[in-house]
Structures are given as structure tokens and as C-alpha cells.
Structure 1
């Protein structure tokens, strides 16, 4: 059980680290340029989606969807809270300084990027037939193909 939560914590920390690096890049390199800051933010959301797609692809091969789904949801929730509440403090900003609209926009954009990454990873996994359920069904079909039907005579 401890290994399961360790993996969730590492994923949450990695997702938060992506956001922290993006915020530091924006602060140090593009402090006054809103267009460049928006591009770095977009890149951050793409990286978050790609990280989640890779994690779902890796975990979905060996673990049932219900288990990895709860693990990914927990990691995304923790990373989202850290990103929205702690991330701005890293660069000297107030989490609520931009107003309630910006605060909730960050939440919705992060959730959209996370959902897109999870969906892409899982759909690619299913399309390749490598998900846990497909592999179970394949093993079942291979195991039962060798047994002939018993004929019952009366």
C-alpha cells in the first residue's frame, strides 16, 4: 500500500515541478511579455498532458482501470491544489491576486489538460490492445481454445 501512495506522491510532485519550472521561466525570462508568458503556460499544459498520457499508458498495461484511475485522480488533485495555491507563492505572487476569474481559469485549464492527457493515453492503450482488460480477455481466449466441447449423449 505504501508503494501505491509513493507512486501517487511522485506523480503529484512531478506535475507540480512542471508548473514550478514554467512559473520560474516566466518570472525570470518573460516578466513583462504576456504573449511569451502565455506560450510558456500553454507549453506547461501540454507537458502536463503528455506526462499523464505516459503514466496512464504505463500503469494501464498492468493495473485495472479502476485502480490507476483513482491513483491518477488523487495525484492530479494534489498537484492542482499545489499549483493553484503554492505555485504563485514561489515567484512572489498572491494566489488570489489576479481575481477570482483567473483563479478558476487556472483550475479549469489544468483539469482540461489533465483530462486530455489521461484520455489520450488510455485511448492509445486501448487502440493498441495493451490495456489490462484486453490482455485478460486475450489470455482467457488462448487458455480455452485448446479444450474441445464435451458432447453429451442421452
Structure 2
């Protein structure tokens, strides 16, 4: 059981690290410039979506969706909670400093990019025939295509 939570925690920390880097870039380079801050934030959400797409692409090749989807979902939710509840302290704010609208817009943006990234990774794996199911079906078809061993009676 403990082994299953280690990759989830690592992915969540990695997603949070993307947020930390974006917040430090905003704090050190673009403090007070709203347009630049919005662009960096959007880039952060895109990087999170891309990271989840790559992770999903890799996991979809190794396991069935019933095994990797809960793991990716849990990692994304933990990463989102860290990003939204702990991340603002890096910038010197509190999670609700921008109001409820800002808080929930971050939740929706994070969720949207996470879902799109996960779907994109899975769709690419499926389109290339590299997902677990396609590979299983290919192996099954290949085993059926070979001629069975003939039994010789004496």
C-alpha cells in the first residue's frame, strides 16, 4: 500500500514545483505587472497540463486505465491542493487574498488543464497504438495468427 502512494506524492510535488517556479518568476521578475503575471500563470497551467500528458502517456503504456487513472487523479488533486492552499504563501499572500472569485478560477483552470492534459496523453498513446489495451489486442491477434502446432498421432 505504501508503494502506491510514493509515485502519487512525487507527481504531486513535481506539479507543485512547477507552481513554485512560476510564483518565483512572477515575484522576482514581474512583481506588480498584471499582464505579465497572467501570462506566467497561464504558462504554469499549460506546463502542468503538459506534465500530466507526458505522465499519462507513459503510464498508459504500462498499465490498464483502471490502475493508472486513480493514481494520476490523486496526484493532480494533491498538486492542486498544494498549489492553491500552500502556493500563495510563497508569493507573500494568503490563499483567499484575491477573493473567492480568484480562488475558484484557479481551481477551474487547474482542473481544466489537468483534465485536458491527461486526456491528451491518453489519446496520443491510443492513437499511436501504444496504450495497454492496443498492445494487448495486438499480442492476442499475433498469437492467433500463428498456426497451431499439429498433433501427430502414431
Same fold (TM over 0.5): yes
The CA distance in 2 between the partners of 1:95 and 1:11, in whole Å, is 22
1:60-91 C-alpha deviation (Å, 9 max, x unpaired):
00110111100000001101111110000112
Does structure 1 residue 8 correspond to structure 2 residue 8?
yes
Residue correspondences, number: 148
Q: Secondary structure at the match of 1:125?
A: helix
Instruction: State the superposition RMSD in angstroms.
Output: 1.0
User: Alpha-carbon deviation of 1:28?
Assistant: 1.2
Q: Secondary structure at the match of 1:130?
A: coil
Q: Which runs of 5+ in 2 are unaligned?
A: 149-154
2:45 alignment counterpart: 45
Q: TM-score, normalised by structure 1?
A: 0.93
The CA distance in 2 between the partners of 1:29 and 1:56, in whole Å, is 32
Q: TM-score, normalised by structure 2?
A: 0.93
1:151 alignment counterpart: none
1:32-62 C-alpha deviation (Å, 9 max, x unpaired):
1001101101110111011001000111001
- Could you list the structure 1 runs, at least 4 aligned residues long, displaced by more than 4 angstroms after superposition: none
User: Alpha-carbon deviation of 1:107?
Assistant: 0.2
Q: Secondary structure at the match of 2:88?
A: helix
User: Alpha-carbon deviation of 1:147?
Assistant: 4.2
Q: Secondary structure at the match of 1:28?
A: helix
1:79-111 C-alpha deviation (Å, 9 max, x unpaired):
111111000011210110111000000000000
Q: Which runs of 5+ in 1 are unaligned?
A: 149-154
The CA distance in 1 between the partners of 2:72 and 2:112, in whole Å, is 14
Equivalent residue runs for 1:26-65 within 5 Å: 26-65=26-65
The CA distance in 2 between the partners of 1:134 and 1:51, in whole Å, is 23
The CA distance in 1 between the partners of 2:22 and 2:146, in whole Å, is 56
Equivalent residue runs for 1:136-147 within 5 Å: 136-147=136-147
User: Alpha-carbon deviation of 1:125?
Assistant: 0.4
The CA distance in 1 between the partners of 2:122 and 2:92, in whole Å, is 37
